[in-house]
Amino acid sequence: MNNPENIKHKKRVTRNNKIASYVISAGGFGIILSIAAILLFLVYKSYPLSSDANLEKISTASSGKNKVILMGMDRFQEINYSLSENGEISFSSNSSRKVFSVKNIDLEENERIIFADKGSLRNETFALITNLNRIITAEIKMTAKYQNDKRQIVPSLEIIEEFKADSSGFSIKNFIFTFNENSDRIYSWTDSGNNLNLRIFGFDDEEIFQHNLSGFMNSDEIKSCAVNHSGEILICGTKTGELFWFDISDFEEPELIDNWKAGESEITAMEFLLGDNSLVTGDGKGFVSVWFPVRNSEGVQKFNRIHKFKKHQRSVERIFVSSRNRTFMTIDAGGEIILNYSTTCHTSLKFRQSQKKVVSASFSPKSDAILVTDEENSTGIYTLDDKHPEVSFKTLFNKVWYEGYPEPDFVWQSSGGSDEFEPKMSLIPLIFGTLKGTFYAMIFSVPLAILAAIYVSQFAPKKFALIVKPTVEIMAALPSVVIGFLAGLYFSPLFEKNLMFLFFFTAILPVFFLFAIISWKYIPEEKKVKLPGGSEMLYVIPFAVMAFIAASFLSIPIENTFFGGNINQWFYEVLDTKYDQRNSLVVGFALGFAVIPIIFTISEDALSNVPKSLTSAALALGASRWQTVKRIVIPAAAGGIFSAIMLGLGRAIGETMIVLMATGNTPILEMNPFNGFRAMSATIAVEIPEAPVDGSLYRVLFLTALLLFVFTFIINSLAAVIGDKLRKKYARF
C-alpha cells in the first residue's frame, strides 16, 4: 500500500484539495469584497467634497525697503513680482525667493506711486497713479519658454499709456482701473475735493471721454469705488454707508441708476466678483456682504444684499477676488485675512501673516496660491488648496440664491458656456425627479402586477398559468433601452395625439367594468360553478373591448364639444399647465412596464407557494374563493408580495435608459404629470463623460451614485428583512 508512487499521489491530492479550498474561499469572499469595493470607492471619490480649504505657508522673505503697491504671480507658480512705490518692479523666484530681474517704470524725482489697480482678471494689466497725479498704464507678461524640456518664465513690461489726471490741486484719495475684454480702459479716481472722476478710453474709436460724476451724488464723502470687469457698471460707496450705482456702458453719458443705503457704517472697500454680477462690499465695522441685482416685483432691477459673511474685528481695507471662481479675500486694518466663497456663503479660512497691517495681496492666476505683503515689507507665499469651494452640504441639499435668480432655489445646472459660469449643483431636483418617476411607475404597476399575480396564481387554469408565467418572466429580461426608445419615439407622440382618448378610456373602463360586475351577478350560481377556470377573464374581455371601442368613437366628439377640439391646448389655456411630449405619464407607463414583470413574478411565486392545505381548509369551511384569497392567501404571501414591491421599487429608482430617453431631462421641481423630470441615474449617464476627472462635478456625480447605491441598498435590505419577518409571521403553518 505504502509504495512511493502512492504516497506521491496522496500528497498531490491533498495539496490540490488545499489549493482548491483556498481558491474557492477567495471566490466567496470576493463577493463581499466586490460590494465593499463599490461602496468604498464611491465614498472615496465623493468624500473630498466635504474637505475644507487648506492654506500652507511656503516662505516669507523681505521685499526691499520701499512700500509694495502691487503684486502678482505667473500661472505656473514659479515667479512673482512686486511693484514698489518708487516704480521698481522686481521679479523673484518663488522657490529661492531671489530677485532675478528688475524693471523700472520711470518716475520723476520725488514722485511716488500712491495707488495701483489691476484692470483685469485675465492678465496682468494695471494702472497706477502717483503723487504728481500722473497715471501710467502698463502690462506685465510672464511668458513660459521651453528649453530642453525645462520651463523658464520670462518676464516683460510694456507701458500702454501715460497721462496726467487734472485734479486742480486736490490730492488723490482713491483710484481704480478696469481693462475690459474689448480693450476699453476705464479709470476712476476721487480726490480730496470729493470729485468723482471718470475717464474712459474707448478702444474701438480710440476716443477719450471724461466725466465728473459728483453732481449725481450728495455731498457725502466717497470712500470706495468699483467698476465691474466688463466696464459697464460703476458703484461708489460713501462715508454714511450709501451706495451709488452708475451705468457707464454709454461712454458719452454715464447715468445714475439707483442709490440705496447699505448700512450705517462707511463702505471702505468693494470689488466685483468673477462673472461680473456680484459685488462684495466691506465696511468700517468689518461687515462683509455680497450684493447682486435682482428684479423686484415691479420688474425693476435692484441690488439686493444676498449674503453676509463672517465679521472682521476691524474695518475692511482691501478686497481681492479670484479669477477662477467666486472666492474672495477680505483684509482688515488689523492684518487679518478671511477667505470666503460667495455662492455657498462659506468662510473657507481665516489667517494673518503677522500682527502688522497688510499693504498688498494677490491671488495667483489659477487661485492656487496667495501672496501677502505687510507693512514691514515681508512677503509671504501661501499655497491654497481649495478644490471644491462651490460644493457644500448647503449647496447640495438647501436652497441657494444664485446670481440672476429672483430668490433662493434648488437648481441643477452643472455647466455653462464660459469659465465665469456659476455652477449650480443642487441634488434636490435630481432626487425629486427620481422619486417622481418612481412614484408614477409604482402607482401604475403595483395594482396591475399584483392583481394579475392574484388571478394567475389563484383563479386561472394551471395550463394558462404555465404559459403566462414564463412569458412575463421573459418580459423582465427585455432590455430597458428598447422600452425607453419605444416610450420616447412611439408612445410619447401617440399619447400626445390621443390624450383625450387616453383620459376618456381610463374614465369609461370602470363604468363598463361595473356593467360586467353587475351582469355577472345574474349568472346563476349553479352555472358559475360549472364554468371552466378562467372564464371570468373571458367574460371581462368583451367589456374591456367595448370600453375601448366606445372611447375611440366618443373621444373625438367629446374633445370637440368640451375641450375646443384640442385638449392639450385646453389644458394650457384653462389649467395653465403645458403638456410636454416627453412627460411623466409616458415615463410612468414605460417604467411601470419594466417593473410589472418583476413584481408579478415574485408575488406570483409567493402566492402560489401558499400551502394547498390552508386554502382547502378555508374553502371547506364555506369561504368563497375571494374570501379565501383575501383572508388566507394574501396574508400568508404578504412577505413575498412586499419583497416584490420593494424589488420593483429598487429597479424603478435605478433605471437609467428609460428615464433618459422618455423624459425631457429638465431638472424641475413639479409633481405635474404633464412635464418631465431629470433623474439621478440619467444625470450620471449624461454628465459623467464630460466631467473633468476629480473635479467638483465629477465628485458630485459620484455622490449621486452613492446616494442611489444607498437608496437601493436600504430598499433591498428592507425587502429581505421585512419580507422574512412577514413570511415568518403568516406562513407558520
Residue number with CB closer to another protein (408 or 479)? 479
Nearest to 45 by CA among 610, 701, 721: 701
Strands (E) in 460-558, as ranges, are none
Beta carbon of residue 500, minimum distance to another protein (angstroms, whole number): 11
Question: How do 68-73 and 222-227 pair as beta strands?
Answer: unpaired
Residue number with CB closer to another protein (32 or 298)? 32
Extract the C-alpha cell encoding 93.
523666484
- Which of 715, 726, 727, 731 touches another protein by CB under 8 A? 715
User: From the CB of residue 71, how many other CB atoms can be counted at a distance below 10 Å?
Assistant: 22
> CB under 8 A: which stretch of 329-337, 375-383, 421-429, 644-652 binds another protein?
644-652
Beta carbon of residue 609, minimum distance to another protein (angstroms, whole number): 15
Q: Is residue 558 involved in binding another protein (CB under 8 A)?
A: no
Beta carbon of residue 405, minimum distance to another protein (angstroms, whole number): 29
Residue ranges in 29-88 that form contacts with another protein under rule CB under 8 A: 29-32, 34-35, 37-38, 41-42, 45
- Which of 479, 549, 562, 729 touches another protein by CB under 8 A? 479
Q: Is residue 471 involved in binding another protein (CB under 8 A)?
A: yes
Q: Is residue 144 involved in binding another protein (CB under 8 A)?
A: no
CA distance 521 to 506: 24
Residue ranges in 679-708 that form contacts with another protein under rule CB under 8 A: 681, 684-685, 688-689, 693, 701-702, 705, 708
- One-letter amino acid at 472 equals V
Residue number with CB closer to another protein (238 or 458)? 458
3-class secondary structure, 158: strand
Residue ranges in 407-466 that form contacts with another protein under rule CB under 8 A: 447-452, 454-456, 458-460
Q: Is residue 470 involved in binding another protein (CB under 8 A)?
A: yes
Extract the C-alpha cell encoding 344.
455657498
CA distance 650 to 714: 9
Q: Is residue 645 involved in binding another protein (CB under 8 A)?
A: no
Question: How do 54-62 and 336-341 pair as beta strands?
Answer: unpaired
Residue ranges in 575-594 that form contacts with another protein under rule CB under 8 A: 593
Residue ranges in 605-624 that form contacts with another protein under rule CB under 8 A: 624
Contact 415, 406 (CB under 8 A): no
Contact 329, 361 (CB under 8 A): yes
Q: Is 134 left (phi over 0), alpha (psi -120 to 50) or beta?
A: beta
Residue ranges in 207-236 that form contacts with another protein under rule CB under 8 A: none
Q: Is residue 21 involved in binding another protein (CB under 8 A)?
A: yes
Residue number with CB closer to another protein (38 or 208)? 38
Residue number with CB closer to another protein (21 or 104)? 21
- Which of 484, 588, 640, 676 touches another protein by CB under 8 A? 484
Beta carbon of residue 216, minimum distance to another protein (angstroms, whole number): 53
Beta carbon of residue 374, minimum distance to another protein (angstroms, whole number): 41
Q: Is residue 667 involved in binding another protein (CB under 8 A)?
A: no
Residue number with CB closer to another protein (384 or 707)? 707
3-class secondary structure, 234: strand
Beta carbon of residue 729, minimum distance to another protein (angstroms, whole number): 20
Q: Is residue 25 involved in binding another protein (CB under 8 A)?
A: yes
Residue number with CB closer to another protein (300 or 549)? 549
Contact 640, 602 (CB under 8 A): yes
Residue number with CB closer to another protein (416 or 564)? 564
Beta carbon of residue 37, minimum distance to another protein (angstroms, whole number): 7
Nearest to 175 by CA among 163, 164, 160, 191: 191
Residue number with CB closer to another protein (13 or 154)? 13
Beta carbon of residue 435, minimum distance to another protein (angstroms, whole number): 14
Question: How do 196-202 and 288-295 pair as beta strands?
Answer: unpaired
Beta carbon of residue 15, minimum distance to another protein (angstroms, whole number): 10
- Which of 105, 483, 632, 644 touches another protein by CB under 8 A? 483
Size of the site for another protein (CB under 8 A): 109
Beta carbon of residue 493, minimum distance to another protein (angstroms, whole number): 10
Residue number with CB closer to another protein (120 or 608)? 608
CA distance 53 to 72: 21
Q: Is residue 478 involved in binding another protein (CB under 8 A)?
A: yes
CA distance 453 to 442: 16
CA distance 210 to 228: 18
- Which of 520, 553, 562, 733 touches another protein by CB under 8 A? 520
Beta carbon of residue 541, minimum distance to another protein (angstroms, whole number): 6
Place of cell 492666476: 365
- Which of 188, 190, 656, 675 touches another protein by CB under 8 A? 656
Q: Is 483 left (phi over 0), alpha (psi -120 to 50) or beta?
A: alpha
Beta carbon of residue 720, minimum distance to another protein (angstroms, whole number): 6
- Which of 630, 666, 670, 672 touches another protein by CB under 8 A? 630
- Which of 65, 145, 150, 521 touches another protein by CB under 8 A? 521
- Burial class from Cβ neighbours inside 10 Å (0-12, 13-18, 19+) for residue 194 reads middle
Beta carbon of residue 2, minimum distance to another protein (angstroms, whole number): 15
Residue number with CB closer to another protein (102 or 451)? 451
Contact 248, 198 (CB under 8 A): yes
- Burial class from Cβ neighbours inside 10 Å (0-12, 13-18, 19+) for residue 166 reads exposed
Q: Is residue 549 involved in binding another protein (CB under 8 A)?
A: no
- One-letter amino acid at 549 equals I
To the nearest 10°, the Cα dihedral for 360, 361, 362, 363?
-170
Q: Is residue 655 involved in binding another protein (CB under 8 A)?
A: yes
Q: Is residue 482 involved in binding another protein (CB under 8 A)?
A: yes
- Residue 431's contacts (CB-CB under 8 Å, 6 or more residues apart) are 680, 707
Q: Is residue 154 involved in binding another protein (CB under 8 A)?
A: no
What secondary structure does DSSP assign to 290-321, as a single string? EEEEEE-TTS-EEEEEEEE-PPPSS-EEEEEE
Q: Is residue 135 involved in binding another protein (CB under 8 A)?
A: no
- Which of 57, 164, 350, 625 touches another protein by CB under 8 A? 625
CA distance 251 to 473: 73
- One-letter amino acid at 238 equals T
Q: Is residue 1 involved in binding another protein (CB under 8 A)?
A: no
Angle of CA points 198, 203, 207, to nearest 5° = 60
- Paired with 258 in beta bridges are 245
Q: Is residue 387 involved in binding another protein (CB under 8 A)?
A: no
- Burial class from Cβ neighbours inside 10 Å (0-12, 13-18, 19+) for residue 334 reads middle
Beta carbon of residue 652, minimum distance to another protein (angstroms, whole number): 10
Q: Is residue 657 involved in binding another protein (CB under 8 A)?
A: yes
- Burial class from Cβ neighbours inside 10 Å (0-12, 13-18, 19+) for residue 296 reads exposed
Q: Is residue 489 involved in binding another protein (CB under 8 A)?
A: yes
